[in-house]
Each structure stands twice: as structure tokens, then as C-alpha cells.
Amino acid sequence: MAEDDGNGPILVSPVHPVTEGASVSLSCSLRTQKILSNVFFYHNDKLIENDPRGELKISAVSKSDEGFYKCQYSGRESAQSWMSVKAPPKPTVTLQPSWTQIYSGETVTVRCEIQGGEGAQWTYEWRRGQSNIPETSNEYRISSAAESDSGEYSCRGTRTEWSDTITLTVSSKPKAELRADRTAVPVGGSVTLTCSVSPSSSSPSSSSPSSSSGWKYYWYTDGKSYQPVTNEQISVSEGGLYWCRGGRGEPVYYTELSQSVWIDTTAAVSGADSSSSPVWLMVGLVCGVSLIIILLLLLYRCRQSKYSCFTRSIQSESHSPGSSTNHGFNQNETHVYGSLQHGTADVYESVTQVTNRNGADEYENVASSLIEFKDLRRKRQYDTPEESAVYYNEDGMQVQRCV
């Protein structure tokens, strides 16, 4: 190193390490003169260039450019300066917008970033999976994404290693989903409507799925629309037909419209109507009980009238004209009776056999009766009761039928 008496040239070089692939400039000047001509530059004491402008430019620094540098002017040399060259960092791939879930028709940009490589003239390479993409800039733009654009993307700069991959998933155009917490607006209240887009690209830890996925929600009802809101829920106090859709990005990408939801309006009940409700309830209850009692009484009278038929039949037999001739009969008359039990299905005869004074058996002026009884309890609803009849003898006595 030449002796520096304060009047020699000065080498201006980078203080911090230079990233491999970046460009760098070294200059030589005097204290009183900034730009010099006919300056010689040395790298590790080896002359590398005679630059009439007094500046040394390296467009893409490599590891071999690391070392000591100095300049010489008018036979005087500057002090040496060490320039350090470091390896470039590993690139990083990002998505803009930062949604890993992209839908068909959206615009997305895949970006390759090299931290610390600012100012370098990088040449980039891209690939999706194992296929190369013909793009040399640090951005790969997809103007209208399709499902075929799905895959794992990676990049690298000049002399850098390949970045880690990032996964891009492109799905078909989504349809918004609309839900309501009730189907009618209560008196003095409201209905909460919820619009959502599934599947959501929000992270599980996010407290606001709509904000992390970028969706704004557009609400419509009966021909008019609301201002877009980031909140996926709104409250409405009017009945009508509602539907919604989501939108995000610039220009705005819209989802399909949701299914419509009809909300009814509940009419208010007046005070007079509400107070009269218990009165009408009591009136209806009393009328119902009264009707049941009347029906039971009618059923009871009907059953009593059916049994009175048999009583009248027996009484008519005991008061018939033939009964008055019984005083002329022999006291030795024989009575043959069958058991007459109410409620049985058996049929019996009651015949009075009379022996005259001549000892001959004959029937004279005798009323013979045939009484048939039937169990009405078992067949009252389905069978027609058989006839019960009373017959008199040949003398023209009265014949009576009781059904």
C-alpha cells in the first residue's frame, strides 16, 4: 500500500458484503476532485482495468470478485479496501392476493422474492411441478385462473437455489349460501340473515373468515340492493324476498347468486283481540261439555225405550180376553213353564193344559202364547232383533206383535 500523505486518491467501495449476482460500483477520487480520468484499478494487486472515468462497475458480482481493491492516479495509489461477496439467499414464492384458494376466473400473481438481493440484475426461472414456465421476471401473472393452473410453484434467481414450493388451488366458481334464523319477522323484532361462501380460504385461527378470505357481501331484496359489507350477517325488519352473493379483488370477482329466502311479516295483535281470547276459549269449552251431556242422555233414553217393548208385551197377555175364562177351568190344570231369563238367547213356550170335566184332554178357549226373547246386549248394533209375538186361539182373539 502506497504511503498516504493526505493528498493521494481515495477508493470508494461497498462497506457491507455484496450479494452474489448483484451489481456494484467502485470509484476513485481526490479530496478536491470527484471525477478523475486515467485511473487504474487493481484487484489483489493485479491490474484489471484502466477506466478514463475513474469508476469500476461489476454488473453481476460473483464469489471470484471478492478481495482487495485499490486505485492509482498520477503514480499515487489509494489505500486498499476489502470487498466481501456473499451467497444469495433462498428465494421465497408468494401469492398476490394471498389466498391459497383461488376460484375459476380470478386474477392471481405468483411472485418470486429474494431478500437482500435488491439492486441485483436477476434472471428468474419458474416451474409448476416439474414443468418449466416461460417467464424470466420475478412475477408470473395469471389473468383468468382455470383449474388446470392448480399446482405447486417454485422459482429461483441467477445462481440461487430453488425456492420452496407454494400450492395454488383453483376451484370452480362458487355459489353463495343464504341462511335465516327465522322465517318471519316478529312484532317489533328482526330476522338475522347470514351469507357465506364455501369452501372458505380463511385460516382456522382467524376470527373473521370474511376478512381473511377477502369477501365482501352484496345483499338484494325485491329489486333493490344494499351497499356491500364485509360482515357476513345483516338484520332485517321488513318481510320480502332476499338473496346475496360474495365479491372480492380488483376488479371485483363475483360468486353465483345464492338461493332466495322469503321472510314473512307478522301482523300485530290488537289489545281487544288478545283480551277476548280467554273468553272465547271458555265459551267453547262449556258448549263442548253441554253437547256431550245431551248425547249421553239421548243414548240412555234410546236404550230404555227398547226394553219397555218387552214389558208391554207381557202386560198385554195378562189382560187379554181369554184370561177371563180361566175361572171355568178345572182346578187341576197343569202349567208348563219354561225359564224366562232376560239376557239369554233361548226360546221358550208357556202353555196351559186344561182337562175338562169329561176327562178328555182338549184345548178350549185357551190362549196360547209364544214369547221369544233375545239377548239384545250382544247384537244390538249389528243384527236386527227377531220379532216377539203373542198369538191367541181360533176364537178370533187379538193378535199382537211387538218388535
**Cis status, amide bond into 9, omega within 30 of 0:** no
Q: Which residues of 322-331 are buried (b: 16+ CB within 10 A; e: fewer)?
A: beeeeeeeee
Q: Tell me how far apart the alpha carbons of residues 303 and 305 are, in angstroms, rounded to a whole number.
A: 5
DSSP code, position 250: T
Looking at the predicted structure, is the pLDDT value of residue 20 above 90? no
Cell numbers placing 179 = 341462511
pLDDT of residue 330: 42
More confident position, 168 or 198: 168
Q: What local confidence, expressed as pLDDT, does residue 397 receive?
A: 53
Between 36 and 141, whose confidence is greater? 141
Q: What is the average pLDDT value for the chain, to the nearest integer?
A: 75
41: CB partners within 8 A, 6+ apart: 26, 28, 47, 48, 49, 50, 51, 56, 69, 70, 71, 72
pLDDT score, position 313 = 52
Asked if the model's pLDDT at residue 360 lies above 70, the reply is no
Give the model confidence (pLDDT) of 263-297 as tens digits.
Answer: 998 755 444 444 555 677 888 888 888 889 998 88
Distance CA(363)–CA(8), nearest Å, equals 180
Neighbours of 333 (CB within 10 A): 12
The mean-pLDDT minimum among 38-42, 213-217, 314-318 falls in: 314-318
> How far is residue 197's CA from residue 216's CA, in Å, rounded to a whole number?
10
Give the C-alpha separation, 80 to 313, whole Å.
152
10-86 shares its CATH topology with 177-265? yes
Bigger pLDDT: 375 or 158? 158
Q: How far apart are CA 128 and CA 149, in angstroms?
A: 9
**C-alpha–C-alpha distance, residues 9 and 79, integer Å:** 8
Measuring CA to CA, how many Å separate 260 from each of 244, 338, 400, 402? 8, 86, 82, 75
Give residue 390's pLDDT: 53
- pLDDT score recorded for residue 312: 56
Question: Exposure pattern of 145-171 as b/e (b: 16+ CB <10 Å)?
Answer: beeebebebbbbbbebeebeebebbbe
Mean pLDDT of 134-146: 93
Phi, psi of 141 (to 5 degrees): -100, 130
Of the chain, the percentage scoring pLDDT greater than 70 comes to 65
The residue ranking higher by pLDDT, 15 or 307, is 15
Range from 59-63, 104-108, 314-318, 369-373 carrying the lowest mean pLDDT: 369-373
Q: Who wins on pLDDT, 373 or 110?
A: 110
Is residue 329 scored above 80 in pLDDT?
no
pLDDT (tens digit, 9 = 90+) per residue, 196-244? 987 654 433 344 445 457 889 999 988 677 778 888 899 998 889 999 9
pLDDT of 341 > 90? The answer is no
Length of the chain: 403
- pLDDT reported for residue 208: 47
The answer to whether residue 65 scores a pLDDT higher than 60 is yes
Q: Give pLDDT, residue 114.
A: 86
- Residue 51 confidence (pLDDT): 67
pLDDT band at 67 (very low <50, low <70, confident <90, very high): very high
Residue 244 CA to residue 192 CA, distance in Å, equals 13
Q: Is the pLDDT of residue 27 over 50?
A: yes
**Choice between 248 and 211, residue whose per-residue pLDDT is larger:** 248
Residue-wise pLDDT tens digits, 379-388: 444 444 444 4
Tell me what the mean pLDDT of segment 152-159 comes to: 90
* pLDDT interval class at 176 (50, 70, 90): very high
Distance CA 330, CA 14 (A): 165
pTM above the 0.85 mark?
Answer: no
| pLDDT value of position 198 | 77
Homologous superfamily (CATH) for 92-171? Immunoglobulins (2.60.40.10)
Percent of the chain at pLDDT above 90?
Answer: 32
For residue 265, give the C-alpha cell: 311479516
- Does residue 42 carry a pLDDT above 70? yes
Q: How far apart are CA 373 and CA 348, in angstroms?
A: 8
On the 0-12 / 13-18 / 19+ scale of CB atoms within 10 A, 3 is exposed
Q: What tens digit of pLDDT does each residue of 72-114 get?
A: 888 889 999 999 998 888 899 999 988 868 999 999 999 999 8
Q: Where are the domains of the chain?
A: 10-86, 92-171, 177-265, 284-320+330-402
* Domain 10-86 listed as CATH 2.60.40.10: yes
Higher pLDDT, 173 or 7: 173
Looking at residue 181, its pLDDT comes to 92
- CA 342 to CA 306: how far, in whole Å? 13
Return the exposure string of 242-260: e unless at least 16 CB atoms fall within 10 Å of the residue's CB, then b.
bbbbbbbbeeebbbeebee
Mean pLDDT of 25-49: 84
- Distance (Å, whole) CA 65 – CA 43: 8
Here the cell at position 334 is 197343569
DSSP state of 15: S
* CATH number of this structure's domain 177-265, picked from the four choices 2.60.40.10, 3.40.1110.10, 3.40.50.300, 3.20.20.140: 2.60.40.10
Nearest Cα to 76, choosing from 6, 1, 9, 5?
A: 9
Q: Stretch 41-48: mean pLDDT, rounded?
A: 91
